[in-house]
């Protein structure tokens, strides 16, 4: 895959149906495979400016903490003041579940705040992520809330014993990892720990369920990472204490994939943006359990560059819905990846893209269901675009 796609990252990603409890231990090899699949999905998804690694530790300008009044983020629930009694084993990817209850002055989740930082927010079956940035300060807050038993982490007592012995502890979560480096003040009465030496904080927001909040820089703003400070830790503690859980507000989408999915296929992830305090879905990831990112679809009102790039040659072009589409079959990928991207807005929507695996990533054999859908072109024939008016959008993008 062309590395230029790293700068067009738009993850489309993670059902309401509860499944049997997953094992508590993480299979590292499987996690690597998931990470590889997720990276490819991001390269095929809606455009976004990439953010730096969450481990980057940065200071927060003191003025952001003290010289402006606090700003409360609009939310269907009040800020959390007590821990969740029980976290779900699986999240519904069409409902974000967790949200910022409070953000420091200068930080926002809204798109169009001078930099396209937040086009990577994900609601999935196993985690939810939210992003908020202070573009003028070049800072990014990243929140990841994991479903129950999705982190291979010691008990809070074991972690406390390790930090007392000055030992760092790595926690592998389903789509991320963080390193516990010290004890932090409790968050809403629950055990909390500094991660990456103070650039992040992790806490057990419910039994066997962990959340992590980290502070990093926004890619493209230059400057070197600075050591974390007391102001950084104060900011992290205050934001973490106000994170709200249990949000039931459904996402709405400007598109729908009509017809039945192949047997065994389901929705695994959804991507969404925030604008004016309102969430809207921008993409989905669908597939069977052996290839959860087999099909990604994206469409939104956010304008971005064409992400149909390939290392296997120039695209061909097809005309559909009054515009030309770049069509690429990436034969260098063992998954025989097909990509289809609109070269212009379609019915008032931008970034309309489809990516489809035709082969099983584990065996390179044909992936059951992909041929049934007709590949990327077949999916386009079934895709209904609902236009830019949110009043026409729907909460279920897959029928």
Percent of the chain with pLDDT over 70: 64
pLDDT recorded at residue 94: 95
The pLDDT tens digits of the residues spanning 376-386 come to 999 999 999 99
d(CA 284, CA 294): 11
Give me the mean pLDDT over the 192-214 stretch.
87
pLDDT recorded at residue 61: 34
Q: Given the structure tokens 């010289």, which residue do they identify?
A: 67
pLDDT recorded at residue 33: 38
pLDDT recorded at residue 279: 84
Give me the mean pLDDT over the 160-187 stretch.
73
d(CA 9, CA 43): 5
d(CA 40, CA 218): 22
pLDDT recorded at residue 332: 62
pTM above threshold 0.75:
no
Residue 286 buriedness (CB in 10 A; 0-12 / 13-18 / 19+) = buried
Q: Is the pLDDT of residue 38 over 50?
A: no
Q: Which residues pair with 142 in a beta bridge?
A: 131, 214
* Range with the largest mean pLDDT of 135-149, 215-229, 305-319: 135-149
* Residue 125 in tokens: 């079956």
Q: Which of 85-99, 162-176, 275-289, 360-374 has the lowest mean pLDDT?
A: 162-176
pLDDT recorded at residue 179: 78
Integer angstrom CA distances of residue 343 from 116, 186, 214, 346, 376 = 20, 50, 36, 9, 15
């Amino acid at each position: 895959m062309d590395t230029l796609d790293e700068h067009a990252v738009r993850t489309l990603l993670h059902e309401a149906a509860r499944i049997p409890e997953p094992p508590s231990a993480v299979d590292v090899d499987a996690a690597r495979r998931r990470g590889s699949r997720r990276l490819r999905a991001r390269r095929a998804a809606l455009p976004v400016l990439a953010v730096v690694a969450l481990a980057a530790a940065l200071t927060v300008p003191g003025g952001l903490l003290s010289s402006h009044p606090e700003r409360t983020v609009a939310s269907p629930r009040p800020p959390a003041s007590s821990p969740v009694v029980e976290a779900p084993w699986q999240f519904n990817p069409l409902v974000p579940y967790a949200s910022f209850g409070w953000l420091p002055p200068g930080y926002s989740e809204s798109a169009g705040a001078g930099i396209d930082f937040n086009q990577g927010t994900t609601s999935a079956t196993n985690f939810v992520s939210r992003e908020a940035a202070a573009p003028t300060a070049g800072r990014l807050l990243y929140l990841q809330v994991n479903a129950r038993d999705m982190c291979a982490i010691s008990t809070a007592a074991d972690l406390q014993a390790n930090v007392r012995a000055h030992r760092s502890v790595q926690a592998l979560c389903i789509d991320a990892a963080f390193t516990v480096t010290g004890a932090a003040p409790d968050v809403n009465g629950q055990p909390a720990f500094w991660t990456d030496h103070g650039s992040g904080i992790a806490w057990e927001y419910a039994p066997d369920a962990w959340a992590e909040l980290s502070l990093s820089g926004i890619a493209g703003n230059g400057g070197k990472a600075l050591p974390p400070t007391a102001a950084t830790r104060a900011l992290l503690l205050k934001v973490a204490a106000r994170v709200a859980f249990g949000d039931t507000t459904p996402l709405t989408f400007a598109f729908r994939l009509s017809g039945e999915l192949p047997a065994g296929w389901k929705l695994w992830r959804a991507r969404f943006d925030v604008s004016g305090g309102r969430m809207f879905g921008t993409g989905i990831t669908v597939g069977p359990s052996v290839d959860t990112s087999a099909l990604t679809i994206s469409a939104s009102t956010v304008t971005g560059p064409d992400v149909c790039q390939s290392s296997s040659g120039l695209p061909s072009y097809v005309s559909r819905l009054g515009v030309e589409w770049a069509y690429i079959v990436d034969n260098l990928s063992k998954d025989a990846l097909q990509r289809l991207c609109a070269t212009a807005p379609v019915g008032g929507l931008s970034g309309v893209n489809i990516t489809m695996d035709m082969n099983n990533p584990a065996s390179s054999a044909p992936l059951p269901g992909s041929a049934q859908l007709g590949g990327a072109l077949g999916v386009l024939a079934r895709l209904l675009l609902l236009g830019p008016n949110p009043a026409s959008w729907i909460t279920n993008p897959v029928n």
